[in-house]
Homo-oligomer: A and B are copies of this chain.
Amino acid sequence: MHDSDNFKKIFPSFSDELIDEIETNAIHQSYKAGDVIMRTGQYINNTILVTKGQIKIYREGENGGEFFMYYLQPGQACAVSMICATRSQTSQIMAKVVEDVELIMIPLSLMEKWMMKFRSWYEFVLFTYRTRFEEVLEVVDSIAFRAMDERLEFYLKRHAEACSCKDLKLSHQEIATELNTSREVISRLLKKMEQRGLVRLHRNQIELLT
């Protein structure tokens, strides 16, 4: 199977001309689970498109916190990389690979040119901005208006959606870090959820029952 067939499946909205351009110009990269693709403060000169694997996007606190924001999945682009690339600014976020990743990097200059040249690229970029902005607003909701128990449920739901499964491979410590709280709090809240029949707890795994 050719790359172009792949692209067409992963980015169905892209026009054939755009896919040709991508194929001739893009830089391919792959990363292993656990790799950090992008760090806070790092300069960005490329827009990133994900073709395979799973990436998690975090906002880093001053004292080493890693607050989970959203997933980046095949067929999606890093909104922050688009934003920063536009002005060769430094990254405001940190990106960590959860599942081995393949991605395409598009230099700033091209990404700008394509905005005018390819309608489907223009729409993809705006769609990316829009959906991420809305997702971040939902995150604001969850922290601004909800207590930890609801935030935990929100967190678990989003992870289930990302992996399209009901068995989440997460330790309590990991969850605590990504919600910026302590493990004990998460253990207790999960226990309560188990008593309410919402989950079943295993070692390194949380089974959603809803």
Q: A residues near B, CB below 8 A?
A: 59, 61-63, 65, 67, 69, 79-80, 83, 86-87, 92-93, 115-116, 122, 126, 129-130, 132-134, 136-137, 139-141, 143-145, 180
Contact = CB atoms under 8 A, between A and B. Distances in A.
Contacts of A180: 144-145
Contact of A140 (B86, B126, B132, B140): B140
Q: Is the interface of A mostly helix, strand, loop or mixed?
A: helix
Nearest to A122: B115
Contacts of A140: 59, 67, 69, 136, 139-140, 143
Given A86-B130, A129-B83, A65 B115 contact: no
A137 B86 contact: no
Nearest to A137: B92
Contacts of A59: 137, 140-141, 144
A106 to B, nearest CB: 16
A139 B67 CA distance: 13
Nearest to A179: B144
Nearest to A115: B122
Given A61-B141, A133-B136, 7 more contacts: A59-B137, A59-B140, A65-B144, A79-B133, A136-B137, A136-B140, A143-B144
Q: Which 10 pairs between the two chains have the least Cβ-Cβ distance?
A: A61-B145, A83-B130, A143-B143, A67-B144, A129-B129, A92-B137, A144-B180, A136-B136, A65-B145, A143-B144
